[in-house]
Amino acid sequence: MPGLDHGAAAVAATASRRARNTHLLSPGAVRRGPERPNRIRLAPGKGADPLSRVEPTAALSPVPTAWRSRFWAAIQATERLRARHRLGDLVALAATALALALRLAVDDVLPPGFPYLTFFPAVILTTFFCGLRAGITCATLSGLAAWYFFLPPSEGFLISAQSGLALAFYVFIVAVDIALIHIMHTASARLRRERAVTAGLYEQQRTLFQELQHRVANNMQFVAALLTLQKRRVGDDPQAAVAALDEARVRLETISRIHRRLYDPDRINLPAGQYLQELCADLLDATGARTIVCLVEVPPVRFDLTRLTTLSLLVVEVVTNALKHAFPDGAGGTITIRLEATTPERMALTIADDGRGIPAGFDPDKSRSLGMRIAQGLAAQLDGTLTYAGGAGTVVRLDFAAPAA
């Protein structure tokens, strides 16, 4: 029978589809088609940066997403027009006049009962393009025009049960339309603000990541240079090798303390004077110099992280050298750190002690002291010059470029 034949064919087709689906889902029956290329590519110019944005190709971008993007772009494009209220009032007046003219033109061909046919689109479009104020203006003028010309009795602002119900219906519809469009505009503005904040946070995170990479590379380079300098001092003396490694360890521990202080989020806005005071206190505690006093006289100036790190390392080298050589046999004394502006573009950092002073005829350029060589290199990084003066103690003066205002 024809009906049974068609039913059997349908059952067979259904069974065949289920069999194919079962075959495709079974572990042992996976068909290997041609491999599809990866549809994700990195944004150009970003390289292998882990924070680089990933751009999907057109094959991965669904059509609804593209239409949504165009929709929000259109809303954003009306923002300037919505900010010009007087122009919006003129547009509302023109839209009302155009809707009235069009409604009068088609009045003869329309059946009774469509007084607001052309006014609803005018209110919606005016609100969308010109904003809340223009939409309310257009709705008010359109309602009055429809009431006067098209609600019975015509050509008058007379109220009846029928016209009152029609007016209430009109007020409800336009109020809902205007409210929805206004809410949409508000949501669009909030979305743009959130996107701007997200973009700023992304850029800040990317910058911090690059800064972290730069810091790690600089630290590794500093460690390598420090070990190279220590290697030159070792020679074939095993005792000198042990002393050199111990000195390198102390310097690396000092660098570690400096970086912990520099990158502590709670101390990121700490003034340079207070930071150097705490750094010197750490050095005195680490060396056990309980008879030494460290005074810091620094104005409330702030440096960027790069300059503050370099300046801190230089202060550590000079103060450590003073603790080791200026006060022998546990003698007491004072180390004074002073920072002052010599010109609007230059500053001077002075580190003075009242210890036994440097030897007569001392030439820092010919010295083989590792600490002095490191200090000279740090001064060069600050675009500065380092000078030494003897007498009643030792005075080390760094003249360097002032931070940008």
- CA atoms of 247 and 202, how far apart (whole Å): 41
Phi-psi map region of 235: left, alpha, beta (phi>0 left; psi -120 to 50 alpha): left
Domain shared by 395 and 264, yes or no: yes
**Residue 364 contacts residue 376 (beta carbons within 8 Å):** yes
Report yes or no on 344 lying in a domain: yes
Within a 10 A sphere around the Cβ of 320, how many other Cβ atoms? 18
With helix as H, strand as E and coil as C, how does 170-196 read?
HHHHHHHHHHHHHHHHHHHHHHHHHHH
Host domain of residue 128? 63-203
Question: Which residues, other chains included, contact 336 with Cβ-Cβ below 8 Å and sequence gap of 6+?
Answer: 294, 295, 296, 297, 350, 351, 352, 353
Q: Which helix (H) or strand (E) holds 205?
A: helix 161-234
**CATH code of residue 381:** 3.30.565.10
Q: What is the pLDDT of residue 266?
A: 64
Q: What is the pLDDT of residue 203?
A: 84
- CA atoms of 375 and 314, how far apart (whole Å): 5
Report yes or no on 248 lying in a domain: yes
Domain shared by 366 and 321, yes or no: yes
Question: CA angle at residue 396 from 394 to 402, to 5 degrees?
Answer: 155
3-state secondary structure of 116: coil
Within a 10 A sphere around the Cβ of 327, how many other Cβ atoms? 20
Q: Which helix (H) or strand (E) holds 294?
A: strand 292-297
Q: What is the pLDDT of residue 265?
A: 62
Q: What is the pLDDT of residue 236?
A: 64
Report yes or no on 337 lying in a domain: yes
Domain shared by 134 and 277, yes or no: no
Domain shared by 240 and 346, yes or no: yes
Report yes or no on 57 lying in a domain: no
Q: Which helix (H) or strand (E) holds 91?
A: helix 85-105
346-353 and 394-401 as β-strands: parallel, antiparallel, unpaired? antiparallel
Domain endpoint, select from 203, 222, 253: 203
**Residue 394 contacts residue 357 (beta carbons within 8 Å):** yes
Domain shared by 308 and 353, yes or no: yes
Report yes or no on 43 lying in a domain: no
Domain shared by 183 and 80, yes or no: yes
Q: Say how many domains are in the chain.
A: 2
Report yes or no on 314 lying in a domain: yes
Domain shared by 162 and 282, yes or no: no
Domain shared by 68 and 180, yes or no: yes
Domain shared by 257 and 390, yes or no: yes
Domain shared by 155 and 113, yes or no: yes
Report yes or no on 187 lying in a domain: yes
Domain shared by 240 and 195, yes or no: no
Q: What is the pLDDT of residue 48?
A: 41
Report yes or no on 36 lying in a domain: no
What are the pLDDT tens digits along the chain (405 aa)?
Answer: 444 344 444 434 444 444 444 443 333 343 444 444 444 343 444 444 433 333 433 444 444 566 666 766 666 677 878 888 899 999 999 999 999 999 999 988 888 788 899 999 999 999 999 999 999 999 999 999 999 988 887 777 888 888 889 999 999 999 999 999 999 888 888 988 898 899 888 887 887 677 667 667 766 776 777 777 667 666 666 777 777 777 777 767 766 776 676 666 666 667 788 888 888 888 887 777 778 899 999 888 888 877 888 888 889 888 888 888 888 777 788 999 999 999 988 999 999 998 888 877 777 777 767 777 888 888 988 889 999 888 788 999 999 988 876
Q: Which CA distances in Å does 287 have to 67, 254, 256, 280, 358?
A: 68, 11, 16, 11, 21
Q: Which CA distances in Å does 404 have to 301, 302, 345?
A: 11, 10, 8
- CA atoms of 102 and 353, how far apart (whole Å): 94
Amino acid letter, residue 277: Q
Domain shared by 164 and 240, yes or no: no
